[in-house]
Amino acid sequence: MEPDIVQGTSPRIILHLDMDSFYASVEMQDRPELRGKPVVIGADPKQGKGRGVVATCSYEARAFGIRSAMPISQAFVLCPHAVFLPPDFPRYVKASADVMAILKAHGFPLQQVSIDEAFLDVSRLGTFPAATDLAVRIKDTILTHLGLTCSIGLAPTKVVAKIASDVHKPGGLTVVEPENLFSFLAPMPVRKIPGIGKKSEAVLFEMGIRTIRDLAAYDIQVLITRFGRSAIALQDIAAGIERSEVEEREGVKSVSRETTFTDDTDDEHLIAAMMDALAEDVCRNLSDESLHCRTVTVKVRYQGFVTKTKARTLPHYTGDTATVRTCAHSLLRDIFDGRKIRLLGIRLSSFDTCDARQMTLGV
Ligand code: DCP
Ligand code: MG
């Protein structure tokens, strides 16, 4: 097995930061009268008849069982007196940019992975205590300047740093030094590994694998027959020896749009018109960012919440709305089975790394 740490070098120290109840916290910062209240960001609940889902909610709302991606109608049932607010995306994008600017100011390689989370490679600091001091300063700066709290994980790998940042949310700071790496990971349920969702968890359970310790010890050949070659990376993660780098240039990974119909529908014209509108909208986003994509994914959620997605990778990068629209319609035809549709979505990904902004910078 590859040695964990290359001889003669210090261990890597990766910092993962994730903002606490991000959209809700931004709203509570802007409107102090909301502090301490259950606040839900998402679709209009319409007194329990609303459609669409919860984007996020404050920790006070989580005490009632409300969670991200839950139908808004269910959130209303759980806590009818919560404050329900529609998302204000431009405001969250601005808050995100402010957070990233604070992180960037420290001069370490930074990889933003979503609107409210990022990795920093702070190995240059040399020791975990020094990295812990930095993490405390970052938390203080974000709180003082933006009035927002975050949770931070420090660990020798990206995956462990990400798992660690989640352990003591909200407001947590969790440090996993190399000697504690395996004892930290081993008792955790496999679901804690980013990318292991309900389905993989069920397959692993069936195989008798419940904890990360079980996964690390499992016969790799059997794992490969179930999960293919990704089983190797999975077992490396379980053993705490994943070595992926903090990739500075990765910014936006995908752009997406989705919408919930006011009434579930099987009207093909309406569905096609909505797909056109979503494709137009998402392509506008692409051109605003001067990006070209290669992968188009269409998502259909049927009545009853069964969700189907299908993706296609195009032979060339494109930013052309007509190409994206044609591909989206073709994917939609493949997955639409005539049942009533609740939600329709489109995602564009696999961006060209040589985008227009970089070309301009290069000349
Ligand atoms: N988000 C969303 N829909 C989801 C999940 C998240 O719109 N299904 C948005 C709202 C969140 C933001 O992305 O505020 C960041 O996602 P997180 O998963 O980090 O969730 P939060 O920051 O809200 O809460 P936590 O404190 O658990 O990180
Ligand atoms: Mg968050």
Question: pLDDT tens, position by position, for the chain (363 residues)?
Answer: 333 434 445 789 999 999 999 999 999 999 999 999 999 999 999 999 999 899 999 999 999 999 999 999 999 999 999 999 999 988 998 999 999 999 999 999 999 888 899 999 999 999 999 999 999 999 999 999 999 999 999 999 999 999 999 999 999 999 999 999 999 999 999 999 988 888 889 999 999 999 999 999 999 999 999 888 888 989 999 999 888 899 886 556 788 899 899 899 999 999 999 999 999 988 887 776 667 888 999 999 999 889 999 999 988 888 889 999 999 999 999 999 999 999 999 999 887 654 433 332 222
As a whole number of angstroms, the distance between CA 249 and CA 8 comes to: 28
SS3 4: coil
Return the best residue to mutate from 60, 116, 167 for the ligand 1 pocket (most ligand atoms within 8 A of CB): 116
What is the rounded radius of gyration, in angstroms, for the C-alpha atoms of the chain? 22
Q: From ligand 1's centre to the CA of 165, what distance in Å?
A: 14
pTM of the model: 0.75
Pocket of ligand 1 (CB under 6 A): 18-23, 55-56, 68-69, 115-116, 169-170
Task: For tokens 């990766």, name the residue.
Answer: 14
Positions marked active-site = 117
Taking each helix axis from N to C terminus, what angle separates 128-146 and 89-104, rounded to the nearest 10 degrees? Answer: 140
Unique residue bearing structure tokens 């319609």: 329
Q: Which two tokens stand for residue 251?
A: 């910014």
Q: Note whether 215 and 203 are within 8 A (CB).
A: no
The tokens describing 146, both together, are 């933006």
CA-nearest of 166, 184, 233, 231 to 203 is: 231
Give the ligand at the shortest distance from the Cα of 172. 1
Compute, in angstroms, the gap from residue 70 CA to the centroid of ligand 1: 12
- Work out the end-to-end distance of the chain between its first and last CA atoms, rounded to an integer number of angstroms: 45
State the DSSP code for 2: -
Q: Which residue owns the Cα nearest ligand 1 atom 7?
A: 55
C-alpha 260: how far from chain center? 21
- Give the distance (Å) from ligand 2 centre to CA of residue 275: 30
Among 26, 56, 254, the mutation site with the greatest number of ligand 1 atoms within 8 A of its Cβ is 56
The total of other beta-carbon atoms located within 10 Å of residue 339's CB is 13
Of all protein residues, whose CA lies closest to atom 3 belonging to ligand 1?
55
Report the separation in Å between the CA atom of 229 and the middle of ligand 2, taken as the mean of its atom positions.
Answer: 31
Q: Whose CA is nearest to atom 2 of ligand 1?
A: 55
